[in-house]
Structure 1
């Protein structure tokens, strides 16, 4: 017999999914920051090459933009961690996509920002791996 689902439970579950999605989106910040840094440096060196002169002002402007984009990306990623933890521990979100995105991005943090990225990526990675069994779908009863 199916019991009606309480609307408060549905709202809470949906809110938890939004929190998880927001956390994952913010946690990808370093990926975007490094991408923008790479594009910015390519553009800077292309402009220097096109001008034919290695202007220190042009180079310093490009480096400043690259560092700023990387810093903003890392800051966004660090802000994503509390959202991910709230979704995992508070709202008990156990969707497989949430698990895999969190694990992949945590591993990325550990590798891309070694050794400092370990402070962010490793605890999240360990937490998700230890709770891995909670993310498997229940076995279908025959």
Structure 2
């Protein structure tokens, strides 16, 4: 895994996601988790988490699952939430790439997470997923 870090951004050599530092601030944000203001260390953990989850070789690697859970905890989220957010970003990129270039009134699909949680949370609030793409017991 290689994450290139400059004064204003973090990029990966294996994933299209990135982190940006806010203008004239110490706060960072991840492309796949833009609503959260993060420290530099948290943004780096988020980039590492994305790289871990992007590696198909780790599906049965307990050590990698532990690393992913630890990095997600640094962000204050569950690994399952990261998996959903990264999958949504991938789907949005795939959909964008399939649009006809001359199509000016194309309607993008509604974000995957809109309305995904039904419960007692205030409207517009998203709750972390209870399970993810992989078995939940692997992330404990």
**The two structures share one fold, judged by TM-score above 0.5:** no
Between 1 and 2, higher relative CO (CA 8 Å, sep ≥ 6) is seen in 1
Shorter-chain TM band: under 0.3
The structure whose Rg is larger is: 1
Higher helix share: 1
Higher strand share: 2
TM-score, with length taken from structure 2: 0.26
